[in-house]
Amino acid sequence: MSEFSLFPIVFYLLAAVTVVSALGVALSNNIFYSAIALMGTLIGMAGMYLMLAADFVAVVQIFVYVGGILVLTLFAINLTSRIGDVSVSNRSIGRLPALGLLGVAAVVMLRAVVGGGWNLVDVGAAVPTIASLGNAFLTDYILPFELASLVLLAALVGAVVLSRKELKEEHG
Amino acid sequence: MMEIGLTHFLVVSTLVFLAGMFCVLTRRNAIGILMGVELILNSANLNYLAFSRYSSVTYDGQMFAIFVIMLAAAEAAIGLAIVLGIYQTFHTIDVEATDTLRL
C-alpha cells in the first residue's frame, strides 16, 4: 500500500511548486521570470489534475497552456519589451491597496473553503476518462462542442486581423 | 498525516486565485495582467476538477474544464494580438499610458 503513503507527499510537492510559482508570477520584477514561473504553475496544475483522475484534461493543459499559450506569451514579450529595460519590464503599482482588497477576498474565500459542507461522494479508483469524455462531446455536449469550433475560428481570424493592421494601411 | 481531500485542492486553488488577482490588480504591463488572468482561469479549473472528483459521479466538471481551457486559448490569442496592436500605436504596453479615451 505504498500508493496511499505517496499520495500526500506528491500532493504537497505539487502544491508547493504551484503556489510558489504563482507567487513568482505575481511578484517578479522581470517579466521573463514571470513567464517562466507561469510555466511552473501550469505544470504543477497539470500534475494536480492527474491526481484528481483527470488524465485527458491534464494532457490538454500541457498541450494548450505550456505548448501554446506560454509560447505565445513569450513571443509577445519578445515583440514588445525593449531589451534594454528588461530588468524592470514588469513594474507594479498600488501594491498596498491591492493587498487590502486581497486580504478581504482571502478571508471570505478561505472561510468558504474551510467551512466545508460539501456534498461528498465515495472516491473510486482512477479510471481512464478519454472514452467517456469523447462520448460526452459527441452526444450531450455536441452543441457547445460545435460552438467551440466557431469561437476558435473567430478568435483565429480576429487575431490575424488585429495583428496585421499595418499591412492594411500600406495597401491604402 | 491528514488524508488529502477536497479541501486541500480548494485551498491551493484559492491561493493561486489570490496570486492571479494580485497580479491583475498591480501590474502595469499588459502581458503581466494577461498572465494573472491565466492564473485565475487555472484556479477555476482546479475547482471544477476537484468537485468533479470528490463531489460528483459524472464527468461534467471535466467537460467544463476543457471548455475553459479552450476559451483561455482564444482569450490569450486575442489578448496578445491586442497587446501587439497597442504596442504598434503607443510604443509601450504600459496600461497607464494607454489613456487616449480618458477625459
Compare all CA atoms of chain B with the CA of A40 and give the residue at the minimum distance.
Answer: B39
pLDDT of residue A128: 87
Measured distance CA(A90)–CA(A11) in Å, rounded: 31
pLDDT of residue A172: 47
| Domain coordinates in residue numbering, chain B | 29-90
pTM of the prediction?
0.88
pLDDT of residue A47: 94
> A20-43 pLDDT, tens per residue?
999 999 988 888 889 999 999 999
Measured distance CA(A60)–CA(A83) in Å, rounded: 33
CA A104 to chain centroid: 24
Contact B39 A41 (CB under 8 A): yes
Residues 47-66 on B with a CB inside 8 Å of A are 49-57, 59, 62-63, 65-66
pLDDT of residue A113: 87
User: Which residues neighbour A26 within 8 Å (Cβ) at sequence distance 6 or greater?
Assistant: B19, B20, B22, B23, B26, B36, B39
In chain B, what is the greatest distance between 2 CA atoms, to the nearest angstrom? 59
What cell numbers appear for A45 in the block?
A: 496544475
Measured distance CA(A11)–CA(A79) in Å, rounded: 37
Contact indicator for B80, B34 with CB cutoff of 8 Å? yes
pLDDT of residue B75: 92
How many other β-carbons are positioned within 10 Å of the β-carbon of residue A133?
20
Minimal C-alpha gap between A142 and chain B (Å): 11
Contact B54 A92 (CB under 8 A): no
What would the CATH number be for the domain defined by B29-90?
1.10.287.3510
Minimal C-alpha gap between B64 and chain A (Å): 10
Mapping DSSP to helix (H, G, I), strand (E, B) and coil, where does residue A118 land? coil
ipTM of the complex model: 0.89
> Which residue stretches of chain A have pLDDT < 50?
1-2, 172
Contact B59 A129 (CB under 8 A): yes
Measured distance CA(B72)–CA(B45) in Å, rounded: 11
Phi/psi at B94 (nearest 5 deg)? -70, 120
Q: Find where cell 496511499 sits.
A: A4
Contact A80 B93 (CB under 8 A): yes
CB-CB: which of A48, A65, A163 is closest to B84? A163
Burial class (CB within 10 angstroms; exposed 0-12, middle 13-18, buried 19+) of A132: middle
User: Which residues neighbour A48 within 8 Å (Cβ) at sequence distance 6 or greater?
Assistant: A11, A14, A15, A18, B9, B12, B46, B49
Provide, as residue numbers in chain B, all residues whose Cβ is less than 8 Å from the Cβ of A54.
Answer: 49, 52-53, 62, 65
Q: Find where cell 487555472 sits.
A: B42
> Which residue stretches of chain B have pLDDT < 70?
1-2
User: Which residues neighbour B25 within 8 Å (Cβ) at sequence distance 6 or greater?
Assistant: A94, A98, A101, A102
